[in-house]
A and B are shown apart, each in its own frame.
Chain A
Amino acid sequence: MMPFIETRSLTKVFGSGPGAVTANSGISFSLERGGALGLLGPNGAGKTTLIKQLAGLLRPDSGRVLIDGLDPAQDPPGLRGRLGLLLEGMRNVYPYLTGRANLVYFGYLAGLGRDEAARRAAELLERFGLSAAADKYVMAYSSGMNRKLAVATCLMGRAELIVLDEPTAGLDPASADDLAGLVGELRSEGGRTFILAGHDMRFMARAAGEVLWLKEGRARLHGRAEALTALPAYRAVKLSLRGSAPLRARLSAAGAEFAEEEGGLSVRLDPSAGGALLAELLASADLLSVSGGGDLEEAFREISRDTAQG
């Protein structure tokens, strides 16, 4: 069966000559209906470029995108109203309309009738905690409120594909978790398909089913999202120890990496690799403090480093 979304060697170069930027190069992936793909990668990696190509706002130089067999660059009538798009920044809603009016407007554009648009707007305002601010002008919204409203506009219609560029930018951690939960609900109940981009590793690990790691326009890794939490950097344990000569010797002998820090040593250990050494250090009288694993930002840096040459 044909996948819901398919890209074939997408390439996009901006400009020409020595200043040309290769924003995408040979990107190919496919995604099944109901899936959620997270696009990750450092600034300028090509995530937004890819999203605009998926949304038909940017034409690839070569290669193509197919959504349900249709090419969005051709603006086919068969795709209209099937996409909910959130772009990065404050570029998604009208500041001189109220929050509710923005939702109703985008609902009408998506083909909803008057009653349905009003009902759906009220539901989404409630769901995103914006009911109290519903009838305020958007120019008076905080950036996080603006972002939530913008995400809500994507859910007004019956779009099957929801594409969100940096959905959690400006969201507080609880709201970001809530959004990740909502993505899960919409996938399992509504069968909607998601493409998510950004740098919020915690959100990606929770909301995306699979991740595509971009760097300098190329796809470097493509795998299940759980793989993020299996990265050594995610699981590493950081220990601070009083620096003594025997300890340094012991660490060197075990091949563990350590760094001098004020008042002692800092050691990072991947528990799967250094179980025995970890147990020994945890029992040591020199132990000052332990900080646990689970640092997804550190994992982000690790992938960025590891994919530097490729």
Chain B
Amino acid sequence: MIPLRAEAYKFGWELRRYAFNYSAGLAAEAVFMGGLYFSFSLLGRPAGTAFVGLLLWFFARGAMSDASNIISEERHLGTFERVSAAGPSLTELMAARLAVNFAFESSRTLLLAAALAAVFAPPFAPLLAPAALPGALAAAALTVACLYGWGFMAAALQVRWKKTGALVPLAEYAMLVFSGIIFDTSLLGGLEPLALLLPLTWSVRAAEAAYSGASAGPALAGLAAHAALAWAAGLALFRASVRATKRSGEYGFY
């Protein structure tokens, strides 16, 4: 049983308690992302992909760090062991928390998109064209799947190795810099294949395809492969980490 009601209820309390912090945080993000978008346009980046890329990156940061934050917060509070024995399995509990989290992160992303769109009026029409829309939606869904798969991998590492949280920003900023949001991945030269290891690279390519009227097929295939791998690796790693820490006695350690 995935305890959605329990996690939505608990998150409701967090939201009430931290509503001010969340709002102020989103305002700060809007200033930062607006500035980035504006400078991208000065650099001559294509407006559509720059906009979509930045929003994807904004969402990615939340999605990837949330999973490992769940583990570290539980351990910090000391409630990790208690909640692990409260009924649902830890994987079910994580799934429920991430689902609630997804609702929150996607609302934040939509709010940010609306605010930036109001100021900069980026071109949306090509994305919404009948030929491009299904591909764009599929790419968005697959991107979400990839990012939560990565989140599960981060959580798995966090269970076993407490310093993982410190490394998550490395993955986040690598995605901003090397996914083709700021500059074309072709500029990476011989290192370009490394960019293909980042799921956002494929999401940005899907956006580029939509804007240029090309087929989104290759980008979607890349995203699908990423999503499948990330979930398989994330879940397997997560189970293995939990087993290992339950053996070593470090399961509840912070």
Contacts and interface: CB of A to CB of B under 8 A. Distances in A.
A56 B82 contact: no
B17 A96 contact: yes
A73 B247 CA distance: 10
A94 interface: yes
Interface residues of B, number: 28
Interface residues of A, number: 37
A85 B79 CA distance: 11
Contacts of B246: 56-59, 73
Interface string A87-122: 101111111111001001110111100100000000
A108 B6 CA distance: 5
B165 interface: no
B143 to A, nearest CB: 30
B9 A105 contact: yes
A80 B88 contact: yes
B78 A57 contact: no
Contact of A91 (B10, B14, B81): B81
B9 A108 contact: yes
A95 B79 CA distance: 10
Interface string B120-146: 000000000000000000000000000
A73 B84 CA distance: 12
Contacts of A52: 81
B169 to A, nearest CB: 25
B79 A92 contact: yes
Contacts of A98: 13
A19 B72 CA distance: 28
Interface in B46-87: 77-79, 81-87
28 contacts: A12-B249, A14-B249, A55-B85, A56-B246, A57-B81, A58-B251, A59-B247, A73-B246, A77-B89, A80-B89, A86-B82, A91-B77, A91-B81, A92-B79, A94-B10, A94-B79, A96-B13, A96-B14, A97-B13, A101-B9, A101-B10, A105-B6, A105-B10, A108-B3, A108-B5, A110-B87, A111-B1, A157-B87
Given A59-B246, A157-B87, 18 more contacts: A57-B251, A58-B246, A58-B251, A73-B246, A80-B87, A83-B85, A85-B85, A85-B86, A86-B82, A87-B82, A90-B78, A91-B77, A91-B78, A92-B79, A93-B82, A94-B10, A96-B13, A109-B83
- 5 closest cross-chain pairs (CB), A and B: A91-B78, A108-B6, A81-B87, A109-B86, A85-B85
Interface of B: 1, 3, 5-6, 9-10, 13-14, 17, 77-79, 81-89, 93, 243, 246-247, 249, 251-252
Interface of A: 12, 14, 52, 55-59, 73, 75, 77, 80-81, 83, 85-87, 89-98, 101, 104-106, 108-111, 114, 157
